[in-house]
């Protein structure tokens, strides 16, 4: 499944969803993970709803997006599009986060994550 990471340094999950200009995309499965590329989003425009929609559209193929922070309206918009936002409170390294997600996938993923894994 495709997973997005909001980062300013390409190493840590350390960017707010609403300020992210780039998302780092990984293909992650229980046993394999590889970097897939970067999605750049336009942050132009004064309307917050339009900026949120631009980010959501750019992440449409992703099942999960890891962020440092996210507002309620943006989180709700992602969930409505079947993209699950996860806040990384400790600004964890992306590589560590990938490993932890794989561990969850190998053991007992929650139903929403199992469904996301089967979808992709």
Terminal-to-terminal C-alpha distance of the chain? 5
Strand, helix or coil at 73?
helix
Res 78: pLDDT:
94
Assign domain 2-119 one CATH number from 3.20.10.10, 3.30.420.130, 3.30.70.2190, 3.40.630.40: 3.30.420.130
The pLDDT of residue 52 is: 83
Closest by alpha carbon to 17, among 60, 58, 71? 71
What does the pLDDT look like over 66-89, one tens digit per residue? Answer: 999 999 999 999 999 999 999 998
Q: Which residues of 40-71 are buried (b: 16+ CB within 10 A; e: fewer)?
A: ebeeeeeeeeebbeebbebbeebbbbbbbbbe
Q: Please, are residues 88 and 70 in contact by the beta-carbon 8 Å criterion?
A: no
Which residue ranges make up each domain of the chain?
A: 2-119
pLDDT of residue 47: 75
Q: What pLDDT shows up at residue 114?
A: 87
What's the CA gap between 12 and 89, in Å, rounded?
11
Q: Which residue has the tokens 């992650």?
A: 28
């Amino acid at each position: 499944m495709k997973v997005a990471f909001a980062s300013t340094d390409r190493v840590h999950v350390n960017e707010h969803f609403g300020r992210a200009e780039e998302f780092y995309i990984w293909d992650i499965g229980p046993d394999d993970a590889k970097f897939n590329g970067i999605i750049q989003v336009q942050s132009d425009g004064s309307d917050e709803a339009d900026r949120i929609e631009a980010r959501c559209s750019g992440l449409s193929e992703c099942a999960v997006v890891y962020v440092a922070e996210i507002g309620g309206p943006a989180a709700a918009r992602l969930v409505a599009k079947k993209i699950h936002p996860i806040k990384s409170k400790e600004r964890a390294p992306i590589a560590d986060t990938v490993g932890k997600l794989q561990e969850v996938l190998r053991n007992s993923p929650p139903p929403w994550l199992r469904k996301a894994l089967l979808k992709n």
